[in-house]
C-alpha cells in the first residue's frame, strides 16, 4: 500500500537517486550536474513546517516526493509557494503523482497559502496533465530560458489558487 508521509533525512539517498535521474535524463530540472548528498542536505534543511517535503513510500521504498518551497524571498510573497514533484522513473503512470499532489495541496490549505506556482518545462505533457487535473491553469510562459541537452527550453508557469 502506498503511504504518504513527511520526508526525513534518512529518505535523502532515495530522493537523491530520483532527482539525479531527472538531472541526467530529463529537462524536468535545469540542474546540469548530478547533485551530491551534501547538496541535497542543504536543500532539505531549507524546508520545514512552512515548506514541507513529503514522500510516497511503497513497500518500504521511497518512490516519489513533492515539496513546497519559497516562491520569492520578499515578505509580500509569504502566502505564495512553489511546488515541485518527482517520481521514480519506474513508477510513472501508477498514480503516485496524483496521490502526492492530493496530499501536498491539502497541506497548502492547512498552511493557509493563497496560491501555488509550478514551473513546467515545455513538452512535459505528463506534468501538465497532472497539474491540470487538480485545477492548475497556465499563467504564462518564459521562452527559451533554459539550455539543456544542447537545446533551449521554455518554462510554462501553472498556478493554483488555494481555497
The per-residue pLDDT for range 131-157, each reduced to its tens digit, is 999 999 999 999 999 999 999 999 999
Q: At what angle do helices 12-25 and 37-45 cross, to 10 degrees?
A: 110
Indicate the pTM of the whole model. Answer: 0.95
**What is residue 163's predicted lDDT score, i.e. its pLDDT?**
85
Contact 108, 52 (CB under 8 A): no
Region of 24 (left: φ > 0; alpha: ψ -120 to 50; beta: rest) is alpha
DSSP 14-38: HHHHHHHHHHHH-SSS---SPPPHH
77 confidence band (pLDDT: 50, 70, 90): very high
Residue 50 C-alpha cell reads as: 512552512
Amino acid at each position: 500500500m502506498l503511504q504518504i508521509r513527511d520526508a526525513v533525512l534518512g529518505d535523502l539517498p532515495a530522493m537523491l537517486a530520483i532527482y539525479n535521474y531527472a538531472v541526467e535524463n530529463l529537462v524536468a530540472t535545469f540542474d546540469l550536474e548530478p547533485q551530491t548528498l551534501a547538496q541535497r542536505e542543504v536543500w532539505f534543511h531549507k524546508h520545514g513546517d512552512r515548506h514541507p517535503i513529503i514522500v510516497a513510500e511503497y513497500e518500504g521504498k521511497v518512490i516519489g516526493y513533492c515539496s513546497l518551497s519559497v516562491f520569492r524571498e520578499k515578505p509580500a510573497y509569504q502566502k505564495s509557494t512553489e511546488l515541485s514533484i518527482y517520481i521514480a522513473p519506474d513508477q510513472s503512470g501508477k498514480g503516485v503523482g496524483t496521490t502526492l499532489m492530493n496530499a501536498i495541496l491539502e497541506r497548502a490549505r492547512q498552511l493557509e497559502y493563497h496560491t501555488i506556482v509550478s514551473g513546467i518545462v515545455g513538452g512535459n505533457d505528463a506534468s501538465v496533465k497532472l497539474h491540470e487535473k487538480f485545477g492548475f491553469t497556465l499563467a504564462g510562459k518564459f521562452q527559451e530560458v533554459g539550455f539543456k541537452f544542447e537545446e533551449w527550453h521554455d518554462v510554462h508557469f501553472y498556478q493554483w489558487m488555494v481555497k
